[in-house]
Amino acid sequence: MNPYSAIQKKLGLTQELPYTPDWSAAPDFIELIVEHCLQAKPGVIVECSSGLTTLVLARCCQLNQRGQVISLENGEEYAEKTRQQLQAFGLETYAQVIHSPLEKVTLDSNEYDWYDLTLLPDVSIEMLVIDGPPGFIQKNSRYPAMPLLFDQLAKQAMVFLDDAARDDEKELVAQWLKEYPDISHEYINAERGCSVLTLSKRV
């Protein structure tokens, strides 16, 4: 049985959701982001990484009759695969997959490989889903998300960090909370852990 069948049913999809056991986000994480997207109806959703999450969030936008998903994907092959899946589900108008190769960035004297943000539009991000880059490529691999995207986050943006049970993710969340006092944090004990960060910008 497809572990994502309940999500498929919730979203009213007749086609079976495609997934890869090693790479796709866990069902409970996807349920969390789907629930939030259907309730909050964000106008702009940005993803770090693409795949099954792109598909379900695009479907949420279709159901909401508003919103657009913008996915940053460092692998050209994966970006194209996600685009093809969106087309197969008739959701290509609700999501844009940008091939964003990883490039060196230096933050607070530390060097990271992070998505090239050149093609990311100047949008106000209402929902940010962080599921990449892969943790094995460097320590605290997903740390740059906040310093590099913070200025584009909307006033009441919500951020969902996958794999939050890992030590690196715990460490980088603690660092974010120290650096950004306008962020509140809730840890959800999902299969791989999920950190939900709520932004409340004062300005």
Kindly tell me if the per-residue pLDDT of 2 is higher than 90. no
Helices (H), 110-162: 145-149
- End-of-domain residue from the set 101, 123, 153: 101
Give percent of the chain with pLDDT exceeding 90: 94
How many Å separate Cα 42 from the centre of its chain?
Answer: 13
Give the N- to C-terminal CA distance of the chain in Å, as an integer.
Answer: 48
Specify whether 148 is located in the same domain as 95.
Answer: no
- End-of-domain residue from the set 77, 101, 125: 101
The answer to whether 100 touches 117, Cβ cutoff 8 Å, is: yes
User: What is the domain extent for residue 38?
Assistant: 24-101
What is the structure's pLDDT at 200? Answer: 84
Kindly tell me if the per-residue pLDDT of 151 is higher than 60. yes
Mean pLDDT of all residues in the chain?
96
Query: Where does the pLDDT of residue 203 fall: very low under 50, low under 70, confident under 90, or very high at 90 and above?
Result: low
- DSSP H or E stretch at residue 174: helix 167-179
What is the structure's pLDDT at 20? Answer: 87
Specify whether 145 is located in the same domain as 86.
Answer: no
| In a domain? residue 33 | yes
CATH classification of the domain holding 78: 3.40.50.150
Specify whether 36 is located in the same domain as 93.
Answer: yes
Kindly tell me if the per-residue pLDDT of 191 is higher than 90. yes
| In a domain? residue 183 | yes
| In a domain? residue 163 | yes
Torsion angle, CA of 134/137/139/145, rounded to 10 degrees?
Answer: -50
What is the structure's pLDDT at 178? Answer: 97
Specify whether 91 is located in the same domain as 150.
Answer: no
What is the structure's pLDDT at 62? Answer: 98
Give the total number of structural domains in the chain: 2
Q: Choose among 150, 160, 146, 171: nearest CA to 193.
A: 160
| In a domain? residue 108 | no
Q: What does the angle CA 142 – CA 148 – CA 150 come to, to the nearest 5 degrees? A: 105
pLDDT tens track for 54-68: 999 999 999 999 999
Average pLDDT estimate for 154-162: 96
Q: Can you give the pTM of this predicted structure?
A: 0.97
Average pLDDT estimate for 27-41: 97
Average pLDDT estimate for 158-174: 97
Residue holding tokens 């964003």? 100
Query: Where does the pLDDT of residue 21 fall: very low under 50, low under 70, confident under 90, or very high at 90 and above?
Result: confident
What is the structure's pLDDT at 110? Answer: 94
| In a domain? residue 78 | yes
Kindly tell me if the per-residue pLDDT of 142 is higher than 70. yes
| In a domain? residue 87 | yes
| In a domain? residue 9 | no
Average pLDDT estimate for 150-171: 96
Query: Where does the pLDDT of residue 22 fall: very low under 50, low under 70, confident under 90, or very high at 90 and above?
Result: confident
Residue type, 69: V
